[in-house]
Structure 1
Amino acid sequence: MDGLSIDIGIADDKRQAIAEGLSRLLADTYTLYLKTHNYHWNVTGPMFNTLHLMFEQQYIELSTAVDVIAERIRALGYPAPGSYAQYAKLTVIKEGSGVPTAEEMIRDLARDQEAVTRTARSIFPVADEAADEPTADLLTQRMQIHEKTAWMLRSMAA
């Protein structure tokens, strides 16, 4: 932890548990950002323009989210993970290999958006127990975005 002690009304063990959960969320979000950006670059086919633009919107949103999540971890007094090696250990998102078809990209990203939602939801019990409203608010916002994005992707794959 940093030099000054932290007294924000959340016990040290709860802050640590929340920061660990948020670190998993950060790893999932960054890994999904990277995969979405890759799909943006490499999508082909009749839906190219639609998917190219949609994936761009998604990776920009994810890019903003990683900063918000990392800053919350720091506010709780813990270092935010920031390397590919750390992310690989913490994430549930599977890296892709090769260049999938546009349809496979859509299905893959929909599953990954849902996986990030599950990670966010898993952090709620400790945040609620600690009365950590800022983290609960962040988790609620992230879940709303990931659930909506997964729905939109699923709708394209129908």
Structure 2
Amino acid sequence: MDIGINEQDRQDIAHGLSRLLADSYTLYLKTHNFHWNVTGPMFNTLHLMFEAQYNEMALAVDLVAERIRALGHYAPGSYADYARLTSIPEASGVPKADDMIRQLVDGHETLCRTARSIFAVVEKAGDEPTADLLTQRLQVHEKTAWMLRSLLEK
């Protein structure tokens, strides 16, 4: 494979993207879980908001996995892989709506940090497609975290 990025950099980028994929899939699953199980006075608002968020992430995980493949590496695709690679804790039980929101804010902020941690090697390698993907993911996750945070203001 000769796409202008050396093997070591492609491996390092793919590893970073694998962590991003694991965080994204874990947050997708958590958001879907909360969509199913949210209750309380904000039920309709949160139910619809969570649905829009997990649908967006369902498409995003495919983009991240395909970028890993384009770099010549295999994308992780099992719960065991994701559990090993993610920085986002699973939800235990069914939290109250405000706790769901807080956990999702934390998850989106974690995804932002994970995405940012990959930029150094991406920039060094001149990997513009991955930089563009990371920038797009940051825009989505920063905006989503802001919108969720706004629900917690009194």
TM-score range, shorter chain: over 0.9
Unaligned runs of 5+ in 1: 1-5
**Partners in 2 of 1:108 and 1:21 — Cα distance?**
23
CA shift, 1:107, in A, is 0.7
Residue 103 of structure 2 corresponds to residue 102 of structure 1: no
Amino acid at match of 1:123: I
1:47 deviation in Å?
Answer: 0.2
- CA distance in structure 2 between the partners assigned to 1:120 and 1:111 by the alignment: 14
Contiguous gaps of at least 5 residues in structure 2:
none
**2:152 & 2:34 partners in 1: Cα distance?**
15
Measure how far apart 1:27 and its partner are: 0.2
- Give matches, 1:129-144, under 5 Å: 129-144=124-139
CA distance in structure 2 between the aligned counterparts of 1:97 and 1:108, rounded to whole angstroms: 11
Aligned equivalent of 1:118: 113
RMSD across aligned positions (CA):
0.3
2:16 equivalent in structure 1: 21
Percent identical pairs in the alignment equals 71
Q: Which residue of 1 aligns with 2:6?
A: 11
Q: C-alpha offsets along residues 78-121 of structure 1, whole Å, 9 cap, x if unaligned?
A: 00000000000000000011000000001110011000000000
Amino acid at match of 1:29: S
Counterpart code for 1:11 = N
Structure 1 stretches of 4+ with a deviation exceeding 3 A read none
Q: How many residues align?
A: 153
TM-score of the aligned structures, taking structure 1 as reference length: 0.96
